[in-house]
Structure 1
Amino acid sequence: MKTIVQKKLYHVDSRGYYGSFGGAFIPEMLYSKIEELRENYLSIIAEPSFQKEYNDLLHNYVGRPTPLYRANRLSTKYKTNIFLKREDLCHTGAHKVNNTIGQILMAKKLGKKRVVAETGAGQHGVATATVCALMNIECIIYMGEIDIERQAPNVARMKMLGAEVRPATSGSRTLKDATNEAMRHWITNCAGTHYIIGSVVGPHPCPDMVARFQSIISEEIRWQLKVQTGKETPDYVVACVGGGSNAAGAFYHFLDDEDVKLVAVEAAGQGISSGYSAATTVLGKPGVLHGSHTILMQTADGQVMEPSSISAGLDYPGIGPQHAYLFDSGRGTFMSATDDEAIQAAFELTRFEGIIPALESSHALAVLGKLSASEHDNVIVNLSGRGDKDMATYMKYIY
């Protein structure tokens, strides 16, 4: 008798799960808002009028498609074919705007008059403030007190765009705490408020909704790579992961192509065993964080551990539930890069290719020498953001 092997499904199922990860673990006060999203998001996204406006804004406002650039000098050094997906060239300077454009249109369809969001590195905050200004919608951004200090240029941009920036002063005063505050605000101000979550985290349907809006990244990679190489599937797709929205977008249209190696790079901070790290898959275990069952760093009694990274956008103690399943199933390869490795990779790209990357993206670049790529392989690195916001950090290593 022939054994039938059922193919693994890497997208969300009808219950809101990726394998055993996902779901919606939420307080009763938030139930109606999550149900409103769950019942409507797929039909709204599928509406021809939504698609027309979304795609028009991506093209004429965001500047898509972003280039797929062959990094010739990096390719020579690492003896393989390295392509950079230039999300740093999006309006606002990062991939985040792909999601905020989609979500602000979702908010309008649902009749919302106010938006709340969280931000770490400030790129999601800027992208949210940008679309709120575009659509004339009130905007409140929660940001960790420490991140407000180390990402001052983005704070100024948010305020110039008309957003109210509220500091998160509890815990580590970084991304985790900003997310806590944004969710509390959403719970207590449900009526008329839409939460534009910035990553593939949170209760279902948030991770799937964000991944769908970011999937434009891998959709473009497929046809761009075919134009340049004659083959639409690469051998490797490499992206940094905090919560993981840029990686989710870069992986999305390759999930079922088992020959494509999906490489997620976490922040090892000062070293995985140093006590100052954000390498979730190495240090974490299954649990519930911000409304979903995922993998997160936690103490023996279940308390969330404080993460640490030079990169504000990767300074998060968990990963999105889809990434947790990619790790658990073996479909994704999870690696990590230290603060020092990320800095070195940032300067290497800058001086090899004349492109200054965000510190988040630098973590993905840092593993190029650790891949087993051949000279014939095509390696895509998702350059998720530009380094303007990180110049104060980079300057410390110049002088």
Structure 2
Amino acid sequence: MNDTQTSVYRADENGYFGEFGGAILPPFLAGPMAEVAAAYEAARQDPAFEEELQSLLSKYVGRPSLLYFAENLTRELGGAKVYLKREDLNHTGAHKINHTLGEALLAKRMGKKKVIAETGAGQHGVALATAAALVGLDCEIHMGAIDVEKQHPNVVRMELLGAKVVPVERGGRSLKEAVDSAFEVYAAAPDEYLFAIGSVVGPHPFPTMVRDFQSVVGREARAQILEAEGRLPDALVACVGGGSNAMGLFDAFLPDDSVRIIGVEPAGEGLGTERHAATMTLGRVGDLHGMHTKVLFDESGEPAPVHSIGSGIDYPGVGPQHAHLEQIGRAEYVSVTDDEALDAFQLLTRTEGIIPALESSHAIAHVVKLAPTLSPESIVIANLSGRGDKDVDFVAERLRRA
């Protein structure tokens, strides 16, 4: 990116993307967070850090991940060619390993002994526990009690990897409460831990740092589609909760105005209900978890209870760069319901023999709507951010009740 593009698509020195972002923290946490920002900046410019991370991504994670032409799905839908960026094939089964390895290496570089984080669907928790085991760190994962029950296989994986899993019983007992709980523990002992945030959310530098670690997804996809088709795609589609998999795919294409960028968030049981997590569609500007962004608030002005069939995207906020991209008109945000995501889960499984995560199924659900409206010469890339092994028991039970 040139200097003009950098100023539009990169945070300023205080972590703001336009009006969104920053580090809105109590004074006693300002120092520890500034330490993280300084450590990341030094690591980012250190060739040895980058070399170690890239080596692990290649030799441990299995990158580059495939860019797969979904020929059967394309034929089923009609219209545009559909490609899937297969992050589900990564070690641990999702895109989360891309940034947790970076965070674990940074924690070790900073002399930390422990990493702590939240998780929703469990994919970030599994990935962080994996990275911590690899580099020799203790790991503590906070998880909403609803998600502990819903995503039990991932809880077992985390515990097998040596992580301490803390069920969170307060409030809505889901992702937002898990973030709150983990942050409280971190705030009491910031010298002991690195808070390894699981998305492009939170105070500066995390929206930038997690995006940078995830940007490998888009760089690969850009090179792969140019090799396969000789041109850039017409559209990118990715699910958005906090928004890390989406920013990972979108980042390399931001300067390419010909490429539509579409984030898909959870409409849950419907936008007219209170059972959704459609922050970009129905939220308003406010502060949450150390950042200034779009937030779903309840009538009392507190972050609203949210719902999605995809546990990893039931979050009442969104990464500040997403809010900025919408504001400047570079990205568009749509929503799909639980039922639409469940239909897409089944469709991709039947047509391609690929079982997607319910989070990723939101992106596929929008592709189902989008592809038939485009010409056969058009190209859509959807980020298949995770595999659905974790969801099959829940889906089976849901289908039995239908």
Q: Quote the offset at 1:15 in angstroms.
A: 2.1
- 1:92-129 CA-partner distances (Å, limit 9, x unpaired): 00000000011111111111111101100000000000
Q: Quote the offset at 1:27 in angstroms.
A: 1.2
Find the counterpart in structure 2 of residue 40 from structure 1.
39
- 1:295-328 CA-partner distances (Å, limit 9, x unpaired): 0100344211111111100111111000111122
- 1:316-364 CA-partner distances (Å, limit 9, x unpaired): 1111000111122221110101000000000000000000000000000
Classify the secondary structure of the residue corresponding to 1:366: helix
Find the counterpart in structure 2 of residue 314 from structure 1.
313
Find the counterpart in structure 2 of residue 225 from structure 1.
225
Task: Provide the rounded CA distance (Å) in 2 between the counterparts of 1:398 and 1:202.
Answer: 36
1:157-236 equivalent positions in 2, closer than 5 A? 157-231=157-231, 233-236=232-235
Instruction: Tell me the amino acid that sits aligned with residue 122 of structure 1.
Output: G
Greater CA drift, 30-39 or 91-100: 30-39
1:1-399 equivalent positions in 2, closer than 5 A? 9-76=8-75, 77-231=77-231, 233-371=232-370, 372-399=373-400
Q: Quote the offset at 1:397 in angstroms.
A: 4.6
- 1:44-98 CA-partner distances (Å, limit 9, x unpaired): 1221111111011000100100000000011122321100000000000000000
Classify the secondary structure of the residue corresponding to 2:155: helix
Cα RMSD (Å) of the superposition?
1.4
Classify the secondary structure of the residue corresponding to 1:282: helix
Q: Quote the offset at 1:6 in angstroms.
A: 9.5
Contact 2:79 2:378 in 1 (8 A): no
Greater CA drift, 76-85 or 336-345: 76-85
Instruction: Point out where structure 1 has 5 or more consecutive residues left out of the alignment.
Output: none
Greater CA drift, 72-81 or 171-180: 72-81
Task: Provide the rounded CA distance (Å) in 1 between the counterparts of 2:202 and 2:222.
Answer: 28
Contact 1:284 1:295 in 2 (8 A): yes
Q: Quote the offset at 1:398 in angstroms.
A: 4.7
After TM superposition, the runs of 4+ consecutive aligned structure 1 residues lying more than 6 A away are: 5-8
Instruction: Point out where structure 2 has 5 or more consecutive residues left out of the alignment.
Output: none
Task: Provide the rounded CA distance (Å) in 2 between the counterparts of 1:173 and 1:300.
Answer: 19
Instruction: Tell me the amino acid that sits aligned with residue 353 of structure 1.
Output: E
Number of residue pairs aligned between Structure 1 and Structure 2: 394
- What is the percent sequence identity of the aligned residues? 49
Task: Provide the rounded CA distance (Å) in 1 between the counterparts of 2:49 and 2:259.
Answer: 31
Give TM-score, length-normalised by structure 2: 0.96
